Chain A
Amino acid sequence: MNGWMHHLVIAPIVLPMFVCAVLLAFDERRRTLKRLLSLGTAATLVVISAALVWEVDAGRSALPGTPHVYLLGNWPAPFGIVLVADRLSALMVLLTSVLGFTALFYAIARWDRSGPRFHVLFLLLLAGVNGAFLTGDVFNLFVFFEVLLAASYGLILHGAGEERTRASLHYITINIATSLLFLIGVAMIYAVTGTLNMAELATRITSVPAADLMLLEAGAAILGIAFLLKAGIWPLSFWLPRTYAAAAPPVAAVFAIMTKVGIYVILRLSSLLFGETSGGAAGFADDWLIWAGFATMIYGTLGILATRKLTGVAGHYVMVSSGTLLAAIGMGGELLMAALLFYLVSSTLAVSALYLIIEPVERNAGEDDMIEGIAEPVFDDEYTGAVEEEEENEIGVVIPGTIAILGGGFIFCTLLLAGLPPLSGFIAKFAIVDALFGSAAISPTAWILITLIIASGLATLISMTRAGIDLLWTPSEDSPPSLSVIEVAPIGLLLAACLALMVLAGPVYLYMEGTAAALADRSTYIGAVRGAPRVGEATR
């Protein structure tokens, strides 16, 4: 690891932040420039994160899969803040970049015009999410959480309108309260262990005296609640479907990764801090995760069946997906980890594609009322140059066969979400079920999980079919809707990514298995962080 490649780890954070600052210098009239800059950044991020994945996977040295540690400010490891790109982080960053790129692409069709500073907020969100995935320090994680939350507050409000303002008022309040819980958890963990570096925490946690163990577990539990709320666990998830439904489609599409940030942190901390070899506190929350995961799945499944709007289906599907992942994390085991990582990637891509396709489908059915396009400005000075928008050139290049394309995409999404063969959704669910059957004695909880996975798939299928008949098969009197290439291309890209997941399931699954093995083996992570050489020291 020499030269510029060494700095690759920090690029997914610094690059979008830098472009944000540049974009702020231009006002809303320079729209083409802004679009080019932000889309170019998002595309670069995809390349960078793909390079990161390649690097941690192929291995730059004799040891394949060694985490790549970057010392911020060149401080030695336990004292300064470190960024760590291991297989899991690199995978999540790649997923973020793909979602970010497609959502931004989609937004260019029309949505980035319905309010000011869309691109700045969007890139800031990407920077925050990437930072949360890459950081190796608990308090730094809090800071990146706040960065991504601050950007998400702005994005939820994007396009203004009454419903968005109401939903965001709840969203912001809940998230500020959660951030306070996060801080309490961090403070308690620091009080017990005296460090916030994750690798250092993992070593010190084995020697926490029994008297302090309860305090540590309480701290970790409070911290966990903060992440579980982000992940949308029942009963802390009532805000989720409503907020996501109120958000503009490209925003909702990229928010699909935000619940996964919560999942990622739970996965990281539970494997690193509360793994099997971490002394008294090992696995203290596993049962909670399993049962809360089940409750979330049940609630999400019922929600999918009960809801009439597609955005509601998508919102509740996000919860089902979170519930499945949390229950699987609670059960643990290397086989199951690999399967759940595959499921995580597949379901995130699919739900993001669904959020993007909902709006054209509903426009097709003439249910146009939710698309207000450009709403009345709340604060006049915010909108300089953005509001006066000419109606012509609204859609761009119009392509024929709208209904066929929309219908095809919709069916594709349905198959993915419901987990029917032959698409990646099926492979993911099959892998989970297979991993559950893999153990010699199948526990009752494993049976419950299998039942719930199948039931939620069935519910998704029923609900999506119902919506599909309503929206696509009902002939409408209006002229066929217009659909632009810019809108179709990103949906196609996301679905193509799912297709690639299916075709390349073998190599991808090998990567996931490697990731699961790396998660189970804490010593490599700890060793890599603690032994990270400073720049200027002899490169070992």
Chain B
Amino acid sequence: MEAVLALAIGTLTASGLWLLFRPRTFQVVLGLCLLSYAVNLFIVAAGRLRTDAPPIVGKGAVDPAQFVDPVPQALVLTAIVISFATTALLLVVLLAARGLTGTDHVDGEEDDL
């Protein structure tokens, strides 16, 4: 499972970075999305991988070894919400830039090729 997760994070990061350095705004937004997925998976991995272990501890005497670390999961939830909101904002700016400059190049003007 570790190998699969590592490969997934690596692939997402690589694709995200490649898209991030592209000249079109929409590609950049998609790149940021992929990167944020990669980072979210990375945070989960930072809490050690476990299967069949719940993150929520019940009342009473419990054995911590039966549970997975809940902190990274809470961090991921926060990170997802925040990246969702900022991506939405970026999309609005993207549309505004497209409307004002008439191009979807990230610099607001086409390269002279």
Q: Mark B77-113, 1 if CB is under 8 A from A, else 0.
A: 0110011011101100110110111000011100000
Contact of B90 among A143, A162, A173 (CB under 8 A): A173
- Known contacts A187-B46, A188-B46; 19 additional CB pairs below 8 A are A153-B86, A160-B96, A161-B100, A166-B97, A166-B101, A169-B25, A169-B106, A172-B86, A176-B36, A179-B82, A180-B35, A184-B39, A187-B39, A187-B45, A187-B72, A187-B75, A190-B46, A378-B99, A379-B96
Judge if B67 is at the interface, Cβ distance under 8 Å: no
Q: Mark A174-191, 1 if CB is under 8 A from B, else 0.
A: 001101100110111011
| Residue in A closest to B86 when the chains form the complex, CB atoms | A176
Instruction: Enumerate chain A residues within 8 angstroms of B78, measured Cβ to Cβ.
Output: 139, 142-143
Footprint of B on A, CB under 8 Å?
A: 139, 142-143, 146, 149-150, 153, 157, 160-162, 165-166, 168-170, 172-173, 176-177, 179-180, 183-184, 186-188, 190-191, 196, 378-379
Measured between alpha carbons, how far is A187 from B48 in the docked complex, in Å?
Answer: 11
Judge if B57 is at the interface, Cβ distance under 8 Å: no
Instruction: Enumerate chain B residues within 8 angstroms of A146, measured Cβ to Cβ.
Output: 82, 86
Are B93 and A150 in contact (CB-based, < 8 A)?
Answer: no
Which residues, 48 to 71 on B, are CB-close (under 8 Å) to A? 48, 71
Instruction: Enumerate chain A residues within 8 angstroms of B86, measured Cβ to Cβ.
Output: 146, 149-150, 153, 172, 176, 179
Are A180 and B90 in contact (CB-based, < 8 A)?
Answer: no
Instruction: Enumerate chain A residues within 8 angstroms of B79, measured Cβ to Cβ.
Output: 183
| Residue in B closest to A147 when the chains form the complex, CB atoms | B82
Question: What is the interface of chain A mostly: helix, strand, loop, or mixed?
Answer: helix
Instruction: Enumerate chain B residues within 8 angstroms of A180, measured Cβ to Cβ.
Output: 32, 35-36, 39, 83
Instruction: Enumerate chain A residues within 8 angstroms of B20, measured Cβ to Cβ.
Output: 173, 177
Instruction: Enumerate chain A residues within 8 angstroms of B83, measured Cβ to Cβ.
Output: 176, 179-180
- Number of B residues near A (Cβ < 8 Å) is 35
Instruction: Enumerate chain B residues within 8 angstroms of A183, measured Cβ to Cβ.
Output: 39, 42-43, 75, 79
Contact of A139 among B25, B75, B108 (CB under 8 A): B75
Contact of A150 among B28, B45, B72, B85 (CB under 8 A): B85
Are B90 and A184 in contact (CB-based, < 8 A)?
Answer: no
Are A169 and B46 in contact (CB-based, < 8 A)?
Answer: no
Are B106 and A170 in contact (CB-based, < 8 A)?
Answer: yes
Measured between alpha carbons, how far is A143 from B81 in the docked complex, in Å?
Answer: 11
CB distance from A61 to the nearest CB of B (A): 33
Instruction: Enumerate chain A residues within 8 angstroms of B107, measured Cβ to Cβ.
Output: 166
| Residue in B closest to A153 when the chains form the complex, CB atoms | B89
| Residue in B closest to A166 when the chains form the complex, CB atoms | B108
Are A169 and B93 in contact (CB-based, < 8 A)?
Answer: yes
Measured between alpha carbons, how far is A190 from B75 in the docked complex, in Å?
Answer: 11
Instruction: Enumerate chain B residues within 8 angstroms of A179, measured Cβ to Cβ.
Output: 82-83, 86
Are A173 and B28 in contact (CB-based, < 8 A)?
Answer: yes
Are A173 and B32 in contact (CB-based, < 8 A)?
Answer: yes
CB distance from A191 to the nearest CB of B (A): 4
Are B90 and A172 in contact (CB-based, < 8 A)?
Answer: yes
Are B85 and A176 in contact (CB-based, < 8 A)?
Answer: no
Are B93 and A172 in contact (CB-based, < 8 A)?
Answer: yes
Instruction: Enumerate chain B residues within 8 angstroms of A378, measured Cβ to Cβ.
Output: 96, 99-100
Instruction: Enumerate the 8 nearest inter-chain pairs by beta-carbon distance, A residue then B residue, closest first.
Output: A187-B46, A191-B46, A166-B108, A187-B43, A162-B100, A378-B96, A165-B97, A180-B39
Measured between alpha carbons, how far is A179 from B35 in the docked complex, in Å?
Answer: 11
Measured between alpha carbons, how far is A332 from B82 in the docked complex, in Å?
Answer: 35
Which residues, 23 to 46 on B, are CB-close (under 8 Å) to A? 25, 28, 32, 35-36, 39, 42-43, 45-46
Are A190 and B93 in contact (CB-based, < 8 A)?
Answer: no
| Residue in B closest to A168 when the chains form the complex, CB atoms | B93
| Residue in A closest to B44 when the chains form the complex, CB atoms | A187
| Residue in A closest to B16 when the chains form the complex, CB atoms | A180
23 of the cross-chain contacts (CB-CB < 8 Å) are A146-B82, A146-B86, A153-B93, A157-B96, A160-B96, A162-B101, A165-B108, A169-B97, A169-B108, A172-B90, A173-B32, A173-B90, A176-B90, A180-B32, A180-B39, A187-B39, A187-B42, A190-B47, A190-B71, A191-B46, A196-B71, A378-B99, A378-B100
CB distance from B56 to the nearest CB of A (A): 15
| Residue in B closest to A157 when the chains form the complex, CB atoms | B93
CB distance from A48 to the nearest CB of B (A): 27
| Residue in A closest to B74 when the chains form the complex, CB atoms | A139
Measured between alpha carbons, how far is A162 from B93 in the docked complex, in Å?
Answer: 11
Measured between alpha carbons, how far is A150 from B84 in the docked complex, in Å?
Answer: 12
CB distance from B98 to the nearest CB of A (A): 9
| Residue in A closest to B20 when the chains form the complex, CB atoms | A177
Measured between alpha carbons, how far is A172 from B97 in the docked complex, in Å?
Answer: 13
Instruction: Enumerate chain A residues within 8 angstroms of B71, measured Cβ to Cβ.
Output: 190, 196
CB distance from B29 to the nearest CB of A (A): 8
Measured between alpha carbons, how far is A150 from B82 in the docked complex, in Å?
Answer: 9
Are A184 and B42 in contact (CB-based, < 8 A)?
Answer: yes
Measured between alpha carbons, how far is A143 from B72 in the docked complex, in Å?
Answer: 14
Instruction: Enumerate chain B residues within 8 angstroms of A196, measured Cβ to Cβ.
Output: 71
CB distance from B67 to the nearest CB of A (A): 14
CB distance from B109 to the nearest CB of A (A): 9
Are A190 and B72 in contact (CB-based, < 8 A)?
Answer: yes
CB distance from A138 to the nearest CB of B (A): 10
| Residue in A closest to B106 when the chains form the complex, CB atoms | A169
Measured between alpha carbons, how far is A362 from B45 in the docked complex, in Å?
Answer: 54
Q: Given A169-B106, A186-B75, A187-B46 in contact, is the A176-B32 Cβ separation under 8 Å?
A: yes
CB distance from A15 to the nearest CB of B (A): 23
Contact of A177 among B35, B45, B72, B82 (CB under 8 A): B35
Measured between alpha carbons, how far is A183 from B47 in the docked complex, in Å?
Answer: 13
Instruction: Enumerate chain A residues within 8 angstroms of B100, measured Cβ to Cβ.
Output: 161-162, 165-166, 378
Are A169 and B94 in contact (CB-based, < 8 A)?
Answer: yes
Contact of B108 among A162, A173, A177, A187 (CB under 8 A): A162
Measured between alpha carbons, how far is A162 from B100 in the docked complex, in Å?
Answer: 6
| Residue in A closest to B71 when the chains form the complex, CB atoms | A190
Measured between alpha carbons, how far is A457 from B72 in the docked complex, in Å?
Answer: 47
